Amino acid sequence: MELSQLHLVLLLISSIHSAHTEERPKPTVTIKPAQHVFRGETVTLRCDIYSEGVTSWRYSWYKEGSISVFSYRQEHTLRSVTESDAGKYTCEGFKGSRWSQMSDAVTLRVSDLAKPTLTVEPQSSVFTGDSVTLRCALIQSQNGWEFLWSKDSNTESIEAATKTINLVKVSDRGEYKCRARRRGYYTDYSEPVVVTIYSKYHSTHFIICMYSIITLFHCELLSLYRKTKTHSNH
């Protein structure tokens, strides 16, 4: 009888322990504004235990490579991030003697704000009436970026990453450059590209004039040749 009672007690303890283990919630880590940010931006890490709703949980934050807790807040803010802030982050919650599971690791990536590359197609020297396409390209993903264009260092205009000028005019010539902006942070300016526009009218007029001069010169040579030949026959 005593053995049966002991067995029952042990079974009950085991069941309680199993139930307690199964009830341990698992937190979720979110990183805002994004998991890939740029040096100098502000990042917020948040640990949530959704299965519990609003509770009195406290939180412990860990970064990969360290066993030390660096924050006990539900939200932890990293200001002016650098490459040293990059890495995998996890959190867990505790309330009295009760602990949650460890969250899955979430990776934060920090990159330099590389300046864009500006290219021009089909070429930087064209004639009036042609089309020119300027492309402002970033090494990193272009999602979420605005592109600011400037001509001859004048006021910037916000446009797409690709800028097409149809039926170009002589007034479209000049020095173009671009930069990108996201969440209030700006890249450096691209290297400038000089677009040269030639007037088709002037070019055609020049060709006609040159043709006329060459024709006249040819006629003069022919006339001189005939005179010389006539003189030699006499």
Closest CA to 148 of 168, 113, 118, 121: 118
What are the phi and psi torsion angles at 119 (to 5°)?
A: -125, 160
Contacts of 121 (CB under 8 A, 6+ apart): 132, 133, 135
pLDDT at residue 182, rounded to an integer: 86
pLDDT at residue 166, rounded to an integer: 96
CA dist 204 and 131 (Å) reads 19
CA dist 134 and 150 (Å) reads 12
What is the CATH T-level fold of the domain 117-201, as seen in this structure?
A: Immunoglobulin-like (2.60.40)
pLDDT at residue 40, rounded to an integer: 87
CA dist 44 and 33 (Å) reads 7
Contacts of 200 (CB under 8 A, 6+ apart): 127, 128, 129
Token pair of 204 as six digits: 């055609």
pTM: 0.59
**Shared fold status for 25-111 and 117-201:** yes
pLDDT at residue 185, rounded to an integer: 84
CATH of 25-111, one of 3.40.109.10, 3.30.450.20, 1.10.3720.10, 2.60.40.10: 2.60.40.10
CA dist 44 and 108 (Å) reads 11
CA dist 95 and 60 (Å) reads 11
Domain ranges of the chain: 25-111, 117-201
pLDDT at residue 142, rounded to an integer: 73
From first to last of its 234 residues, what are the pLDDT tens digits of the chain?
Answer: 454 554 544 444 544 444 445 578 999 999 999 999 988 889 999 999 986 655 689 999 999 999 999 999 999 999 999 999 999 999 999 998 899 999 999 999 998 878 899 999 999 999 999 999 999 999 877 778 999 999 998 889 999 999 999 999 999 999 999 999 988 888 999 999 999 999 876 544 445 545 556 656 555 666 665 666 666 655
